[in-house]
Structure 1
Amino acid sequence: MNIDAVRAWSRTVVHDYTARDTALYALAVGAVSDPLDARQLQLVDETDQVAVPSMAAVIASPGFWARDEKSMAIDAQRLVHGEQRIALERPLPAKGRVVGISRVSRIVDKGAGKGALITVCKTLQSENGDRYGHAWQLFFCRGDGGFSASGADDLVLDDAPLPPLAAAPEREADRHEHCAVRVDAALLYRLCGDNNRLHIDPQAAQHAGFPRPILHGLATYGFAAISVIRAFADGDAQRLLGLDARFSAPLYPGEDVEFRMWDEGCHVALEGRVAARSAVVISHARARLQ
């Protein structure tokens, strides 16, 4: 890994999107299960449309920058999207132009053979500079540890670390939401902009060690957002201000996932589990509501 190139990296993306794009995202993350529900329809009906807040993780994003920027010398084949966070200050518009300013905000060396952690912070704002909020992606670079002077745990940038994510409470969950993920969910979600072959090509998936194509992590993240909105916000998407989550295992199209949620007062803790194979696909997650 070329540390100088990584920490100097930034990219500004101007994203023009339509009501159709916003509706497509909503459908791709399972936001409409009842077409007679007025709150659900508001996510896809251009008449008085509302954007699903988790779309902040997707719009105005820099793409697969670790692969595209060859000068950074990151082992992109071994890079894993480990965590996703968003924090909104006001609702995203259902259509229009949003500017995303992304930069590497933190790098942690875990040591030779142990990989490195890279955090990318994206600021979302209007053309006029009015801020909507931030989104953070944490990447686990499995092939890039051992580059720092000490050889491990050397914090290369000056940004304060994000607070660590906490595991779900051990008590019984307060709410449960079940999602039946469509068998074509990955094919639908990739129309939102992520064309990674891992999610459509069986051979690419098998080469990566999976028996078949997996669902995009950010699609699973969107399903989690919808579950919180239904369980704790009475279907009002604009009440969701933040969502932090760890991607702990892949979710496959066609599976049923149960989101267990705990009311912790200042936030909602949640965990996504596929009972059929005892797999936790979303862990250490918390949502903030207004």
Structure 2
Amino acid sequence: MSLRKTASYAWTEKDEMLYALGIGLGHAPLNRHELAFVYEAGLKAFPTFPVLVGFHGSAMDDVGIDYRYVLHGEQAVSLHRPFPPEGRASTVSRMIGAWDKGAGKGAVFSQETVMTLEGETAPLATIRMTSFARAEGGFDGPREGQPRPHAVPERAPDRTVRITTTPNQALLYRLSGDLNPLHADPDTAKAAGFSRPILHGLCSYAICCRAVLAEYCDFDPARILHHEVRFSSPVYPGETLAIDLWKDGNTVSFEARIEERDVTVIRNGKTLLSR
């Protein structure tokens, strides 16, 4: 596909700190590892922050799909070097795939966004997002060729990390840019088939990165080169994510489930480490 779109973004240390608070960092104010992401003295950018910077102004906006019936399918970010806690960048977003599941069965769309710091030519980060559009099938597109998801090991997890979300976490996370009422308004959530507002998928995405960062990186964000997931079910604010981790060399595989409901919400997770 040839659809392309350019945009520019600026972010500040305050934006970075608000994002870190929205994904649950700083819940224990005396934890100096987490404080580094929410306090301006020596502030560090969290590895998944680029997906927030590149959230708006994407090529997908021009496809013409009905967003009332779109589900977030997969998300990935590749960091080509450490992300600065403040700066200005330009992005080039393009559609890289569309797979037709047939009339009445929906379609899968994938886009890639390359981010470059202002005044530079080397890419800073590459973001990939895949969406399932339930109302868009039947346009005679290809049905085969969609990339296979990462397969997690079949052995028992090497480690399991439990992170509990807060009841107001979606209300806090949405202040970083995703103002979809599905995450705040009870009536909108019920109309969409949910018992109450759900947590943003990108917040769950970042929470899984928190687990990897704490368990295998000693909270050093420069060690994370790539982080990807496949979303399989929504999370309700206040629930606990049990994140199963497998480490093989520089690859960390993971899946996350909600203990209260015994539902897997993140599948096929993969994080690549620098060493």
Q: Normalized against structure 1, the TM-score is what?
A: 0.89
Counterpart residue number, 1:186: 170
Provide structure 2 residue ranges, at least 5 long, that are not aligned to the other structure: none
AA of the residue aligned to 1:55: F
Pair 1:234–1:247, CA change in 2 (3 A) = same
Which whole-Å CA distance do the structure 2 matches of 1:252 and 1:209 have between them? Answer: 13
Give the share of equivalent positions with the same residue, in percent: 37
Of 96, 100, 116, 1:109 maps to: 100
- RMSD of aligned residue pairs (Cα, Å): 1.8
Structure 1 counterpart SS, 2:48: helix
Counterpart residue number, 1:257: 241
Q: 1:111, 1:152 within 8 Å by CA — same for their partners in 2?
A: no
AA of the residue aligned to 1:144: E
Structure 2 counterpart SS, 1:253: coil
- Answer with 213-222 or 105-114: which moved more: 105-114
Structure 2 counterpart SS, 1:131: coil
AA of the residue aligned to 1:54: T
Provide structure 1 residue ranges, at least 5 long, that are not aligned to the other structure: 1-6, 156-160
AA of the residue aligned to 1:138: T
1:153 matches 2:137: no
Which whole-Å CA distance do the structure 2 matches of 1:250 and 1:116 have between them? Answer: 20
Structure 1 counterpart SS, 2:139: coil
Which whole-Å CA distance do the structure 2 matches of 1:180 and 1:77 have between them? Answer: 29
1:16 matches 2:10: yes
How far the C-alpha of 1:154 sits from its partner, in A, is: 6.3
Which whole-Å CA distance do the structure 1 matches of 2:142 and 2:10 have between them? Answer: 41
Which whole-Å CA distance do the structure 2 matches of 1:152 and 1:12 have between them? Answer: 27
Q: 2:59, 2:95 within 8 Å by CA — same for their partners in 1?
A: no
1:204 matches 2:188: yes
How far the C-alpha of 1:275 sits from its partner, in A, is: 1.4
How far the C-alpha of 1:31 sits from its partner, in A, is: 2.3
AA of the residue aligned to 2:125: G
- Answer with 34-43 or 247-256: which moved more: 34-43
AA of the residue aligned to 1:218: L
User: Map of 1:45-194 to 2, 5 A cutoff?
Assistant: 45-63=39-57, 69=62, 72-128=63-119, 129-148=121-140, 152-153=142-143, 163-194=147-178
How far the C-alpha of 1:114 sits from its partner, in A, is: 2.1
Counterpart residue number, 1:227: 211
Q: 1:12, 1:99 within 8 Å by CA — same for their partners in 2?
A: yes
Q: Normalized against structure 2, the TM-score is what?
A: 0.93
Which whole-Å CA distance do the structure 2 matches of 1:22 and 1:130 have between them? Answer: 22
Which whole-Å CA distance do the structure 2 matches of 1:32 and 1:73 have between them? Answer: 39
Q: Deviations over 1:258-285 (max 9, x none)?
A: 1110012231010111111111111110
Pair 1:13–1:63, CA change in 2 (3 A) = closer
Counterpart residue number, 1:218: 202
How far the C-alpha of 1:32 sits from its partner, in A, is: 2.5
